[in-house]
Amino acid sequence: MRVVIAEDNVLLAAGLELLLSSQGFDVVAITGDGPGLLAAVETHRPDIAVVDVRLPPAFRDEGIRAALRARRDHPGLPVLVLSQYVEHAYAGRLLADTGGGIGYLLKDRVSRVDEFTDALRRVAAGGTAMDPEVIAQLLAVRGDPVDALTPREREVLALMAEGHDNAGIAQRLFVTDNAVHKHIGNVFHKLGLSAGDSGHRRVRAVLAHLRRHGGTGSPGG
């Protein structure tokens, strides 16, 4: 699997390259800014891009804006955002892309190599991998009716957003499949969404919900 990394921290970029190479990934390019990411994607046509949110020169949102531009120029390009921050203005728009192949993980919350590489492979295959904290922050700032969900329903929603199927959710919450099915029905009902049978389709419905509440503004460059 061919990977492009956009990360301005030289030590972190080198660490990612070493880690991914040891796991069988082919890191074809490393860049430290948005224009470099766009050029690397154009040149190498990678299977996935791993992108930090904040890149030079201003270290605000250059990375995620470049990721949006790359997705626009190369529809379907899988992108995994790996950052210390949730950039609300553009994260919602990126995650609301129902084409799949989207991930957003927080650096400080990635605790295991296998979880990271599994997320990378899932996104590259067209799936979704999102940190529950990212979803929680985006829902909070948009004033969605997530407050109507019970604590258990919020747990189910977070696991759905990560891309887990019913069996996976049941296993993680130590409940039955029937209980999960009921919770999912309640989640979609309270959020005004229609439940689907596919795990990724359910995730895309959650993302469409984010888009409906302000995640589709212009990327501004």
- What CATH number has the domain bearing residue 110? 3.40.50.2300
CA 220 to chain CA mean position, Å = 20
Q: Which two tokens stand for residue 19?
A: 């880690």
Task: Decide if 219 is inside a domain.
Answer: no
Q: Decide if 153 contacts 187 (C-beta within 8 A).
A: yes
What's the pTM?
A: 0.68
Give me the residues paired with residue 81 across strands. Answer: 51, 104
Run of H or E including 15: helix 10-22
| Domain count for the chain | 1
Task: Decide if 217 is inside a domain.
Answer: no
Q: What does the chain come to in residues? A: 221
Task: Decide if 189 is inside a domain.
Answer: yes
Contacts of 38 (CB under 8 A, 6+ apart): 66, 69, 70, 73
Q: Decide if 30 contacts 17 (C-beta within 8 A).
A: yes
Task: Decide if 220 is inside a domain.
Answer: no
Q: Which two tokens stand for residue 25?
A: 């990934």
Task: Decide if 60 is inside a domain.
Answer: yes
Task: Decide if 221 is inside a domain.
Answer: no
Query: What is the phi-psi region of residue 143: left when phi exceeds 0, alpha when psi lies from -120 to 50, beta otherwise?
Result: left
Task: Decide if 83 is inside a domain.
Answer: yes
Q: Decide if 101 contacts 78 (C-beta within 8 A).
A: yes
pLDDT digits (tens, 9 = 90+) for 129-153: 888 777 777 666 555 566 677 888 8
Q: Alpha-carbon dihedral of residues 70, 118, 164, 65, nearest 10 degrees?
A: -20
Please check the confidence at residue 218 and state whether its pLDDT lies above 50: no
Please check the confidence at residue 195 and state whether its pLDDT lies above 90: no
The range of the structural domain enclosing residue 111 comes to 2-212
Q: Which two tokens stand for residue 86?
A: 């949730």
CA distance linking residue 153 with residue 104, whole number of Å: 21
pLDDT digits (tens, 9 = 90+) for 17-43: 999 999 999 999 999 999 999 999 999
Task: Decide if 178 is inside a domain.
Answer: yes
